[in-house]
Amino acid sequence: MFFFTLKILFLLTITSVIGKYVQSDDERPDLKWPKKYTFQATKVSLTSGLVEDIEFWRTSKKSRVDYNEGAVKKIAIKGKRRTLKSFGVKYEIHPETTEEYLNELFCIRTNGTATNRVNLDDLLPDEGEFEYRGKEYLETGLVDKFAYEQTESQKYLWAYLDSDNSSWIPVRLEVIGFNGWLEQLKEHVVTYYTNFKTEVDDSVFDVDKYDCGDAPAPETNNINLSNLDPEIDEHVEIAFNRYKLEFNRQYSSEDEHAMRKSIFQNNMRKVNEHNSKGSTYRLALNKFSDRTQEEKQKSKGLLRREPGEIGTHPFPYDKKKIAELAENLPTDVDLRLEGFVSPVKDQQGCGSCWSFGTTSATEGALARSNGGRLLRLANQALIDCAWGFGNNGCEGGSDTAAYRWMIEYGLPTEEEYGFYKDNDGFCNIENMTTIYPIKGFTDVTPFSVEALKIAVMNHGPLSVSIDVGSSEKLYDYNGGVFYDPKCSPEKLDHEVSLVGYGEVDGEEYWIVKNSWGRDWGIDGYFHISTRDHACGIATEPTYVVI
């Protein structure tokens, strides 16, 4: 849906752009933003599907940014010398709703200090980082392209020089980056700018109409967990207390607290030991770090298909055709960029992975068949209704049973059926007004990297089964290309979605969407090596036929 919105956005802005470009390189001054400006923007995370609408104002002394159609407002004002606010002040205005009031606005004021001065928000990139790369056509017309390229961070900016006032006007910013705080967490974010103006009404920074109260004193105990030693009790205590606060953990007894702390300490050891070696991937403490093996089992849920059970439609490429197509395959494919992948969800304590993998494959096939329109389908319908086909709701299910139920009944949208509930529910399929049926599903040639690449490029996303239990390290994954020889190509216990492939430092990998939430892995995704068909990812891949 948001890709459709962006197309409309481009059409609305095109008339304000065309005809204002400076065509000669000799006339092009250095890239530099005006001293004051305002704009609207749509920020799209291609790794998570998150879309933000933003409005921004900035002068040399003040900034304001509005999110979510103005629901949240953040205002920053630089300090004035020899005043009570010499280190600056910032305000945040947001709505709250309780049983007593509806959408009441609250304002929180935070005064800067000598060690923590208030800085203005900066939603445009630093001009000095970029090098000019020539002109390029976008949907808005001919613009100038600038680039900043480093090993761990790449930024690409498209802008044009407005001949009316000699100001650079940003059009689009693409950031592909490395997050040091989360170690190897990568991001891919595109921001589209519209309605850029160089006049700012100072009244937008007024906060007089809000009853602003002071924010609570900030925490001063800043701890870098990576420097803590799991063999030192005091360090473990510090890390575990921070962990409980971060993940809102509350335990029922002292015995449980001691048990959870012991599990956490063992995971500290595992993470530190792994990350001290030269591995292609990194581990981190996360929401699984105090969980038992039994509790972790609930984050999976795949039941193996019956022996001899095969797809309803044959794979349309024989060995000769696969070899022929493999010669011209692109080096990377990412179906998120094509709008075929819905946002990551969290299955939580329900063993429903089988429903997420098959639903994602169905959403992609449906988007391919209707001109790119991505609909969010209700995997909760599979959990509630597919028992008669061999699935057991939150106690597990198979991809083939899910597909056979969809052949019979189809899938409704989340909007009509309801969102994922993390529990079994009453089946409501007969009350749906719109159902999207499938004709069947196809098994991709097993244990063939080339066949899998062709399938994901032409028919994906794919639903793929993997082995998590034999390794256990995937639970702690935090970035890089995962590979663990302990994984089995046969002991498949978790269903995920294959959405692309790529290569880094000579290592080819699959891009996989998981169902453990966006606070896990790379914004909910992981990269896994194509070597040895790691963790069984090429054992039983399937895609949907619409």
Indicate which residues carry an active-site annotation.
353, 494, 514
Helix (H, G, I), strand (E, B), or coil: what is residue 154? strand
Mutual angle of helices 399-409 and 353-369, in 10-degree steps: 50
Q: Which residue(s) pair with 464 in the sheet?
A: 496
Contact 143, 132 (CB under 8 A): no
Q: Which two tokens stand for residue 230?
A: 């799991």
CA distance 89 to 204: 16
- Angle (CA) 131 187 67, round 5°: 95
CA distance 276 to 257: 28
Of 430, 420, 310, give the one whose Cα is nearest residue 356.
Answer: 420
CA distance 166 to 153: 30
> Would you give the distance in Å from CA 313 to the centre of its chain?
32
Q: Which residue(s) pair with 43 in the sheet?
A: 52, 191
Q: Supply φ then ψ for residue 477, to 5 degrees.
A: -60, 140
Q: Which two tokens stand for residue 138?
A: 């976008």
291 to 43, 258, 426: CA distances (angstroms)? 35, 13, 29
Mutual angle of helices 319-326 and 449-459, in 10-degree steps: 80
CA distance 298 to 295: 6
Burial class of residue 267 (count of CB atoms within 10 Å of its CB; 0-12, 13-18, 19+): buried
CA distance 537 to 447: 8
Q: Which two tokens stand for residue 19?
A: 């005809």
Q: Supply φ then ψ for residue 414, to 5 degrees.
A: -60, -35
Burial class of residue 103 (count of CB atoms within 10 Å of its CB; 0-12, 13-18, 19+): exposed
Q: Which two tokens stand for residue 89?
A: 């002040």
Q: What is the DSSP string of 69-101?
A: TTTEEEEEE---TTSTTTT-EEEEEEEE--SS-
Strands 440-443 and 141-149, how do they pair? unpaired
